[in-house]
Structure 1
Amino acid sequence: MDNNLCSTKKHIHVTCAIIERDGLVLATKRSAAMSMPNKWEFPGGKIDPGETAEECLRRELYEELGIGARIGPSLPTSTHQYPTFTITLHPFVCTIEEGEIVLHEHAALLWLQPSELHSLDWAEADVSVVAAYVSTSGRTF
């Protein structure tokens, strides 16, 4: 079988929220039932056809965490190639406007100092987002 015929990977575009509160940043842990189980990530999800990244992020934060958020500045997109698909993350710095966090999909959450973010076992695609956030915030590990 010619491997070149099977080399086309699915490419998905996903938003993610770097939620800040009182100098801390929210990280969420993927549940055992999710792909990449027990990895840490910034919450968010797949952008639906016809949906802007900001609309997607508002919807996903409500669905996953039960909160309304103010979508702030974007950070540079980050593309990562996993073995079976490629993902482009569209990160935004956000704050909670309404509601209290209720985990509908994730197993756990942590509020961390930016300098502590590197200590978690992040999903590979999120690693560069962590680095971009820390560098644009003037913070260093």
Structure 2
Amino acid sequence: MENDFSTIQKHITVTCAIIERDGLVLATQRSASMSMPGKWEFPGGKIDPGESPEECLHREIHEEIAIKIRIASSLPACTHKYPTFTITLLPFICTIEKGELILHEHADMVWLMPSQLPTLDWAEADIPVMEAYISRRNRKV
């Protein structure tokens, strides 16, 4: 029997930060050099071997946007299957601890009211994270 490797898909686990400031939320736009260019996402990245999700998030946020964050809480993991890979996002709600935002990888960033988040053209995997975040905020109000 021959193995069919075409059905085996890469599965990556990624952290993302929902960064809050003064009632607004940060969204970053993927650059032309990234996969899914122009799509909006919550910043973050792949977990390295032996790294906890929290350690990954701190490292990735510092690398991508040059700030230090404080993790306040987490949201449920969301898994999305793209045509060539599957991604599981581990979202964390955060605040800025220190530093000024500098985009090292992204094309743009925007601070929006949570209710404005759905107006962006999100990467598909980030949509359920954004919806879960808005739903959680609405329950707290």
CA distance in 1, matches of 2:98, 2:131: 28
Match of 2:87 in 1: 87
Match of 2:122 in 1: 122
CA distance in 2, matches of 1:95, 1:69: 6
Q: Secondary structure at the match of 2:138?
A: coil
Shift of 1:25: 0.2
Shift of 1:39: 0.2
CA distance in 1, matches of 2:121, 2:66: 24
Where do residues 1-141 of structure 1 align in structure 2 (5 Å cutoff)?
4-138=4-138
Which amino acid in 2 is paired with 1:27?
A
Which amino acid in 1 is paired with 2:49?
P
Shift of 1:138: 1.3
Shift of 1:5: 3.5
Q: Secondary structure at the match of 2:118?
A: helix
Which amino acid in 1 is paired with 2:98?
E
Q: Cα deviations across residues 12-44 of structure 1 (Å, max 9, x unaligned)?
A: 000000000000000000001100000000000
Which amino acid in 1 is paired with 2:36?
M
Shift of 1:4: 4.3
Shift of 1:3: 9.2
Shift of 1:71: 1.1
Q: Secondary structure at the match of 2:31?
A: coil
Provide the identity percentage.
67
* More divergent stretch after superposition (4-13 vs 45-54): 4-13
Question: Structure 2 length normalisation: TM-score?
Answer: 0.95
Q: Cα deviations across residues 100-123 of structure 1 (Å, max 9, x unaligned)?
A: 000000000000000000000000
Q: Secondary structure at the match of 2:34?
A: coil
CA distance in 2, matches of 1:16, 1:3: 35
Which amino acid in 2 is paired with 1:22?
D
CA distance in 2, matches of 1:75, 1:116: 19
Say what the alpha-carbon RMSD is for the aligned residues.
1.2
Structure 2: runs of 5 or more not aligned:
none
Q: Secondary structure at the match of 1:137?
A: helix
Question: Structure 1 length normalisation: TM-score?
Answer: 0.95
CA distance in 2, matches of 1:53, 1:60: 10
CA distance in 2, matches of 1:88, 1:130: 14
